[in-house]
Amino acid sequence: MKMKKLVSLLMAAAMCATLLAGCGGSSNSNSSSGSSNNSDSSASAEKMSLKMHLSCGTTDYVYTAGEKFAELVDAKTNGNLTIELYPSSSLGTTADCLEGLALGACNIVFDSVGNLAALTDLANIDAAPYLYSSVDHYRAVWEGEVGAKIREDIGADCGMTLLGYGLQGIRVMTTNKPVHSVSDVKGMKLRVPTISIYLDTWSWLGAAPTPMAAADVFTAIQQNTVDGQENPYGASVGLSMQECCKYVTETNHVYSGCSFILDTNFFNGLPEEYQTALREAADEASSILTDLAVDMAAEKKQVFVDAGCEIIEPDITEWQAAVDGFLAEKYPYLTEYADMITAADPA
């Protein structure tokens, strides 16, 4: 067990007791709700408000899905449980907020599951390349039994509870050098998230990946510190990549997912009806997020077209072949999950 996980588990119990006590004794309501048969959730639990971190801004469709989540939770609990949204990392970075879940700095993190890789290696499955054949395949995994098992395993390994799993977007490259084939990325200075599997993937492909916070990417490209970056269309527009990159290569190498992440001890300390409401709302909001990611992709792509960027559609089979053997060599503990995901393809 990693030190961060241990600290999280130790602090969470104290946090839960403090927060629930401050909400009028909700912990007692939790025990009573178990015998109420959920006949009247408004009578069995005290009012509570939870803070939710989002790294995206208010114009991002991820934020829209977060708003829907809050609305659903409010409706399912008759207004007794409310969710306060804190966009644009206003509570701190995602890494800070994940560490702060047990301390009450925030109560929910709505962001990429890959951010949990600092706490559990299993979270790297979120960024493993070329796992999905289509959005339908992605849905079949994360809205089904395979996704439920993977979420449970990731959460159990780092003391977190993962609710829902929606598609944030399909990652493409935005660069100042044209990329038509795998050979074109050889030696390319490419910004990647500060998550190990991204670094390893692009190193495997021959690039010179540079881990960097998203907020620093625009300036780094302007100053030629890096030649480009990779992200879904939506996130790329959010970073104004159309203003500093000349090319977009639709590698479609990773289907990035978002989940509602809570400290497990905190979640288990909530009244049962609140747990149910959060689970149901997360599933519904995640499905909405996937719909939005699909619907908005063309609109966000058009932003690059209107800015005069060249859109390159490479031979995806070449890229898939280039990463053959990558997981087996670099992340062998993920091959079981990869096999499960492949087998879940409805096509």
Residue 8 is predicted with a pLDDT of 42
What would the mean pLDDT of 153-182 be, rounded to a whole number? Answer: 97
Residue 92 scores a pLDDT above 50? yes
Span 331-335, average pLDDT: 97
Model confidence at 12, in pLDDT bands (50, 70, 90)?
very low
Cα–Cα separations (whole angstroms), residue 228 to 168, 190, 192, 212, 336: 20, 5, 9, 12, 32
The DSSP letter of residue 196 is: H
CA distance 108 to 85: 9
Higher-confidence position of 30 and 208: 208
Q: Are 202 and 209 in contact (CB under 8 A)?
A: yes
Residue 87: pLDDT over 90? yes
Average pLDDT, the chain: 89
**Comparing C-alpha atoms, which of 331, 322, 300, 332 is closest to residue 130?**
322
What pLDDT sits at residue 213? 83
pLDDT average, residue stretch 58-65: 93
The structure tokens 């289907």 sit at 255
Residue 76, CA distances (Å) to 40, 41, 107, 199 in order:
11, 9, 19, 41
Note whether 301 and 51 are within 8 A (CB).
no
Q: How far apart are CA 153 and CA 119, in angstroms?
A: 13
* Cβ partners under 8 Å of residue 10, min gap 6: none
The pLDDT-based confidence of 273 (bands split at 50, 70, 90) is very high
What pLDDT is stored for residue 41 in this prediction?
Answer: 41
Write the DSSP string, 218-234: HHHHHTTSSSEEEEEHH
Angle, to 10 degrees, between the axis of helix 272-306 and the axis of helix 61-76? 160
pLDDT at 309: 98
Mean pLDDT to the nearest integer, 190-212 = 95
The band of 44, judged by pLDDT with boundaries at 50, 70 and 90, is: low
Q: What is the pLDDT of residue 286?
A: 98
Q: Which residue did the predictor score with more confidence, 56 or 17?
A: 56
Q: Average pLDDT of 167-184?
A: 97
- How many angstroms separate the Cα of 99 from the Cα of each of 104, 206, 215, 312, 315? 10, 33, 20, 39, 41
pLDDT of the residue at 24: 36
Task: Give tens-digit pLDDT for 143-165.
Answer: 999 999 999 999 999 999 999 99
Q: What share of the chain is helix, strand, coil (3-state, %, to 5)?
A: 55, 20, 30
In tens, the pLDDT along 212-258 reads 988 899 999 999 999 999 999 988 998 999 999 999 999 999 999 99
Least confident of 134-138, 170-174, 192-196, 257-261: 192-196
Strands (E) across the chain are located at 48-53, 81-86, 108-112, 160-175, 189-192, 208-211, 228-232, 247-249, 255-263, 310-312
DSSP, res 323: T
pLDDT at position 59 is: 87
State yes or no: pLDDT of 31 exceeds 50.
no
**What pLDDT was estimated at residue 20?**
41
How far apart, in whole angstroms, are the C-alpha atoms of residue 285 and residue 117? 23
CB distance 9 to 16 below 8 Å: no
pLDDT at position 7 over 50: no
- Rounded CA separation 212/347 (Å): 37
36 vs 292: which has the higher pLDDT: 292
